[in-house]
Amino acid sequence: MLILRLALCLVLVASALSLAQPSEPPRHNFVDLQTLIPDLLVEMPYATPHNFTGETLYPANRAFLVEPAAQALASAAELLRAQGYRLKILDAYRPLSVQCKLWEKNPDRNFVAHPSTGSRHNRGASVDLTLITLDGAEVDMPSLYDEFGAKAGAFQKGLSPAVAVNLQVLQKAMQDSGFKLLASEWWHFDHPCWKDSPLLDIPLTEL
């Protein structure tokens, strides 16, 4: 049954790709974030089995965004470096077929975009991230990554003063660099260039 549902989902992906991308090449180049921002820490749970699906979904721990989003992220990293922080990337470009697997495990539109419309991650324009200190220590945030529910909210009340400050530092740097917040997930940021970027299903090892 699970295999059948996944097969149906992949048919949806094929149809979304044909609708969204009428054989045009991508308008933006993809940028390897680790190359652009050398002090970035890239630790993507989907490249390991330690994520909410329990499966390794990516063949490589490599983070890509399309160029306008990548350059905006470099600006945010610069703003944060001056305040004593680095960025830790949790997810960036995500192939559309992986979106199917996430939807299979958590079919809740508040947290996972339906594969027929795709996520802005599938366009290389969204990034999931958190802060670490310059020497690599974790910085406290409202919840764990992919901890779906009220604790994931970007505008929640009742946070400890330290967590509220940490979240504000991250949000301000990202917003000042051109990203938009997502109310339901504190770790997720969208760059407006998603409107000019097609849905894609290119594996991370082929970019």
> Contact positions toward Zn ion, by CB under 5 A?
128, 188
Q: Which is nearer to Zn ion, 22 or 195 (CB)?
A: 195
Cα–Cα distance between 95 and 151 in angstroms, integer?
A: 27
Exposure letters 30-62 (e unless 16+ CB within 10 A, then b): bbebbebbeebebbbbbbeeebbbeeebbeeeb
Q: Cβ distance 110 to 150 under 8 Å?
A: no
User: Nearest distance from residue 4's CB to Zn ion, in Å?
Assistant: 28
Cα–Cα distance between 64 and 137 in angstroms, integer?
A: 23
Q: Is 164 helix (H, G, I), strand (E, B) or coil?
A: helix
Cα–Cα distance between 189 and 179 in angstroms, integer?
A: 6
Q: Which is nearer to Zn ion, 86 or 121 (CB)?
A: 121
User: Nearest distance from residue 8's CB to Zn ion, in Å?
Assistant: 24
Residue 112: both structure tokens together: 């996972």
User: Nearest distance from residue 188's CB to Zn ion, in Å?
Assistant: 4
Cα–Cα distance between 4 and 200 in angstroms, integer?
A: 23
Q: Which is nearer to Zn ion, 119 or 160 (CB)?
A: 119
How many other β-carbons are positioned within 10 Å of the β-carbon of residue 130?
22
User: Nearest distance from residue 22's CB to Zn ion, in Å?
Assistant: 26
Q: Which is nearer to Zn ion, 190 or 201 (CB)?
A: 190
Q: Which single residue brings its beta carbon nearest to Zn ion? A: 188
Q: Which is nearer to Zn ion, 182 or 207 (CB)?
A: 182
Packing angle of the helix pair 2-20, 96-105 (nearest 10 deg): 140
User: Nearest distance from residue 46's CB to Zn ion, in Å?
Assistant: 11
User: Nearest distance from residue 128's CB to Zn ion, in Å?
Assistant: 4
Q: Which is nearer to Zn ion, 130 or 166 (CB)?
A: 130
